[in-house]
Amino acid sequence: MADLLELTATEMTAALERRETTSRDLVAASLARMASLDGQVHAFLSTRSEAARKEAEAIDRRRLAGEKLGPLAGLPVAIKDNLCTSDGLPTTCASRMLEKFHAPYDANVVEKIRAADGVIVGKTNLDEFAMGSSTENSAFGPTHNPWNLDLVPGGSSGGSAAAVAARMAPLALGSDTGGSIRLPASLCGVVGLKPTYGRVSRYGLVAFASSLDQIGPFGRTVADVALMLQVIAGWDGRDSTSVNRPAPDYAAAVRSASAQGLRIGLPREFFAAGLDAEVERLVREAIAVYEKAGAKLVEVSLPHFAYAVETYYIVATAECSSNLARYDGVHYGHRTAEPSDLIEMMSRSRAEGFGPEVKRRIMLGTYVLSSGYYDAYYLKALKVRQLIKGDLDRAFAQVDCLMGPTSPTAAWPLGAKTADPLAMYLSDIYTVSANLATIPAVSVPCGFTAAGLPVGLQIMGDVFTEDRLLAAAAIIERERQDWQRRPGMLAGDGKAVQT
């Protein structure tokens, strides 16, 4: 066959079933691509080459023997490195604090991938403890955008998005606390879904902000994302926030996608000041495709949208301060060398183990939770969070989904926002509301800038409507076929070479 890695995950599955290729060949191609390109992209923090090859060969033997295989049988999968794995790879969260930590168990989603016969090829880079929008906060160096290596891939799940965009793996998992799946999906030209809070178990996900975190899939196409979501969705008694609700047939929803009668809400606040003109044009052109295909466009308003970023960064940092208090140099994680007493051990261990952005968020969170400021900041933010959710609830009473940009800009240069935390935080302006309201949202490619950079269309829906969101995303994908465009570094034409 031609280049195996140009196949989508669903195409790979079909080729395997027809015996046109083998899992061994797919995994070998994935590992070879990683070896060839990851020195430039830095999508992975660790790989499991030999174990992956052996698993692939075992799956091939089972297939030849006529055994029933799982839905991911033989497919290479990349895992964000804040998901616990017990297979010998560390779970670092891209932090010196956990550089040598080996989890004693698998995350629920990892268990499900293994049970579905997926082959995990490695763990991907991220902003430290998933705190960032560019994957520049990693203690082990930034990830580069495959479309232009001088640019960021988005964050915090930038390694997973870059791995899929660079065809190193057809499927990947990330986590999304305020846009950490959708933003890198947009900037890297792939599909990324944040499911409803509770749809996917968080057991084994290293916590950042527990009321906001959610695990979700990346893929080159909507059908690929539907395939992965079908595997990881479902109730888990080890996660107290997991919802015991059956998952629909996501693949069937994608296959039957139609714009006829679809009511699309356009929040006027999504198309205001701060949105790059080229991004707005591409997003509006994509929405026009839906209208031409039979959808009805409805202008809606989200009056409290203006407070979403501030609300998010109070709630998220407060929960971050609480969750990261466990890293004290006592039970596990980094411990400073030869401390003189307990207090010095804790303070020095944390100072040495955490990077600047994590320290910033811990301090902000500790401040808003402190005596005298709890009511003024944290309690008020919780009230505004409910107002934001109320705005979205009223919007979904009128429409089936909301559409707008995923990111206010296309990918930006490495280092351009690292000195200005506020500018970096505003990269999440269109994504944080979904996390605050616990609703699902997906980013799907909707065009390219004049500089050849991908732009994402964000589609948001009411709780547990992932099937409708994926069906809606499949429409623009089918009409535009943007997913077929390849980063320059894959074509060898120099467009993604650092200058």
Q: What is the Cα–Cα distance from 20 to 26, expressed in whole angstroms?
A: 11
**Which residues lie below 8 Å from residue 63, measured CB to CB, with a gap of 6+?**
16, 23, 69, 73, 74
Q: What is the Cα–Cα distance from 227 to 173, expressed in whole angstroms?
A: 12
Q: What is the Cα–Cα distance from 405 to 398, expressed in whole angstroms?
A: 20
Active-site residue numbers? 80, 156, 180
Phi, psi of 219 (to 5 degrees): -160, 165
Q: What is the Cα–Cα distance from 220 to 158, expressed in whole angstroms?
A: 14
For 405-429, what is each residue's pLDDT tens digit?
999 999 999 999 999 999 999 999 9
Q: What is the pLDDT along the chain (499 residues), one digit of tens a residue?
A: 458 999 999 999 999 999 999 999 999 999 999 999 999 999 999 999 999 999 999 999 999 999 999 999 999 999 999 999 998 899 999 999 999 999 999 999 999 999 999 999 999 999 999 999 999 999 999 999 999 999 999 999 999 999 999 999 999 999 999 999 999 999 999 999 999 999 999 999 999 999 999 999 999 999 999 999 999 999 999 999 999 999 999 999 999 999 999 999 999 999 999 999 999 999 999 999 999 999 999 999 999 999 999 999 999 999 999 999 999 999 899 999 989 999 999 999 999 999 999 999 999 999 999 999 999 999 999 999 999 999 999 999 999 999 999 999 999 999 999 999 999 999 999 999 999 999 999 999 999 999 999 999 999 999 999 999 999 999 999 999 999 999 999 975 434 443 3
CB 438 within 8 A of CB 213: no
Q: Which residue has the tokens 């430039």?
A: 40
Strand segments (E) across 223-367? 263-267, 296-300
Q: Tell me which residue of 56, 71, 63 sits closest to 4, measured CA to CA.
A: 56
Q: How long, in residues, is the chain?
A: 499
β-pairing verdict for 401-405 and 191-194: unpaired
Please report the pLDDT score of residue 493 as a whole number: 42
Distance of CA 90 to the CA centre of its chain: 20
Sheet holding 44-47, edge to edge: 44-47, 119-124, 76-80, 171-175, 215-219, 191-194, 441-448, 454-460, 401-405, 263-267, 296-300
Phi, psi of 168 (to 5 degrees): -80, -30
For 418-469, what is each residue's pLDDT tens digit?
999 999 999 999 999 999 999 999 999 999 999 999 999 999 999 999 999 9
* Domains of the chain, CATH where assigned: 4-257+442-454+462-491 (3.90.1300.10)
